[in-house]
């Protein structure tokens, strides 16, 4: 899936993956949104993010004809430092 459009709001990147899918992205948290009429596009986008190491956070939500899914990503450095604290 190619990035078609990219804008830079104050605290996160807005990436439009296709005509129907957009991502509001931070460094460790993102929200993918899609028209409820194009759910296969949403599923493909989420699959691509999961393959790149992102994890699904909570369930889907919907509002005003859009479906939203949150994802998180913790870098390997942060995982290692968190594991050391628990030891």
Mean pLDDT of the chain: 82
What is the arithmetic mean of pLDDT over 17-30? 93
| Model confidence pLDDT, tens digit, residues 51-81 | 999 999 988 999 999 999 999 998 766 655 5
Tell whether the model's pLDDT for residue 9 goes beyond 70.
no
Contact between 37 and 58 under an 8 Å Cβ cutoff? The reply is no
Tell whether the model's pLDDT for residue 22 goes beyond 80.
yes
Euclidean distance between the first and the last CA atom of the chain, given in angstroms as a whole number? 40
Note the pLDDT of residue 8: 44
Here the tokens at position 15 are 């990436």
DSSP SS3 for 59: strand
Tell whether the model's pLDDT for residue 34 goes beyond 90.
yes
Closest CA relative to residue 77, chosen from 12, 30, 27: 27
Q: Which residue has tokens 């913790």?
A: 74
Higher local confidence (pLDDT), 32 or 85: 32
**Where are the chain's structural domains?**
5-86
Mention the CATH class of domain 5-86.
alpha beta
> What separation in angstroms does the CA of 67 have from each of 22, 33, 59, 63, 83?
11, 5, 11, 7, 34
């Amino acid at each position: 899936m190619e990035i078609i459009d990219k804008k830079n709001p104050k605290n996160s990147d807005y990436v439009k993956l296709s005509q129907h899918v957009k991502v509001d992205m931070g460094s460790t948290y993102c929200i993918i949104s899609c028209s409820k009429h194009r759910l296969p596009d949403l599923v493909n986008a989420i699959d691509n993010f999961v393959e790149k190491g992102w994890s699904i956070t909570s369930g889907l939500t919907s509002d005003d004809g859009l479906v939203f899914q949150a994802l998180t990503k913790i870098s390997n450095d942060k995982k290692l430092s968190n594991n050391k604290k628990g030891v």
